[in-house]
Amino acid sequence: MLELIDIGTNQGSILGFPEGTKENEEFFKSIVELVQLGRLGDSKRKGVSSGCLFVVLTQDCSIANTSKYIELAQLKKLKEQDEERVNGLLLGKNYSKLYIKIKDDYYQAEEILITKIAKQKLLDIVKKESFILQSKLPNRSIKIILDWRILSYKREPFPDKFNRLLSEYLKNTKSWFTEFLLEHQHDIHSIRLYVTPEDAEDAEQYQFSLCALLTESGVTKQDEIETNVFKMLEQFNEYDDVDCLQIIDLAVDSINIPEHLVLAASSTLDEFTFSNAYVMREFNFQYLCY
């Protein structure tokens, strides 16, 4: 349905109720009914408040074609906006929930509250301004929410003990490294990580290598990014059960290094090949469970 695209309802668009909407108004009740009916399972009765936002998950090509529905993720504004508490939430292990920042506020999405609404009905309520197109998520946030949606069953986990050690390190260092990544979100495309043994959930010792993939703007800040990556590696390497391959003396070590392992602290997207990606998988610092 191209008309939805034409009025700005495309992937990543944020919809919300008009300011001042009362929850006893008939148009609000009718939209809530549509939202609840589109959910799966026993989540149909879970509520919708006038302060909720909805993000369009469906791809633009699917919005424009003859398919019937559009998928929306319901976002609930967090009452607690304390930065320290939010940092804890961002490192949570509950993959059924996601926390994202929109402007100055934090919102929670839940897997069970994802809904589907018929395109024509969505077009009608947007045209009537019962739903207002408020803004669009930044590209990075769109990637995060889509990864959360599609990888809930396909994610490849890193060893549990390694995740727990890394989580402990981040907590003990007041999550400065994740704050650094957030600050440089437009400079760092992703963090790639190699861990061995990858099939042992509770090994006595893990060896690892970490590399920051740089965007075009990140290349201009490569020295600063590498300095902070090495700072993180040196701090984490002090834990008894981990060895960073970029720091330990490989000349006297008997570790079997994979052929395409990257030992540099950073790499450009042009330099990083499919072979490198096969050895070093993307590590999601927002959800340490994968």
Q: What is the pLDDT of residue 290?
A: 45
Q: Which of 147-161, 166-180, 228-242 has the lowest mean pLDDT?
A: 147-161
Whether residue 28 has pLDDT greater than 50: yes
Q: What is the pLDDT of residue 254?
A: 59
- 191 falls in which pLDDT band (50, 70, 90)? very high
- 165 falls in which pLDDT band (50, 70, 90)? very high
Give the range with max mean pLDDT: 15-29, 72-86, 134-148, 252-266: 15-29
Calculate mean pLDDT across residues 229-233: 97
Calculate mean pLDDT across residues 74-102: 69
More confident residue, 21 or 156: 21
Give the range with max mean pLDDT: 52-61, 152-161, 252-261: 52-61
- What are the start-end ranges of the E strands in 182-253? 188-196, 206-214, 242-244
Whether residue 80 has pLDDT greater than 90: no
Distances (CA, A) of 65 to 2, 14, 38, 198: 8, 21, 20, 42
Q: What is the pLDDT of residue 283?
A: 87
- Global confidence as pTM: 0.70
Whether residue 153 has pLDDT greater than 70: no
Q: How many CB atoms lie within 10 A of CB 48?
A: 21
In the block, residue with structure tokens 């330099």: 271
| Lookup: tokens for 28 | 């609000």
| Lookup: tokens for 74 | 């319901």
What is the SS3 assignment for 205? Answer: coil
Calculate mean pLDDT across residues 166-185: 87
Distances (CA, A) of 92 to 45, 52, 87, 207: 26, 22, 9, 24
Q: How many CB atoms lie within 10 A of CB 163?
A: 19
Calculate mean pLDDT across residues 189-212: 93
Q: What is the pLDDT of residue 209?
A: 95
- For 110-121, what is each residue's pLDDT tens digit? 888 999 999 999
Cα–Cα dist 241/115, whole Å: 43
Q: What is the pLDDT of residue 83?
A: 60
| Ramachandran class of 20: left when φ > 0, alpha when ψ lies in -120 to 50, beta otherwise | left
- For 128-144, what is each residue's pLDDT tens digit? 888 888 888 888 788 88
Calculate mean pLDDT across residues 190-205: 92
**Average pLDDT of the chain?**
86
Q: What is the pLDDT of residue 252?
A: 45
For residues 175 and 87, the answer to whether their CB atoms sit within 8 Å is yes
Whether residue 90 has pLDDT greater than 80: no
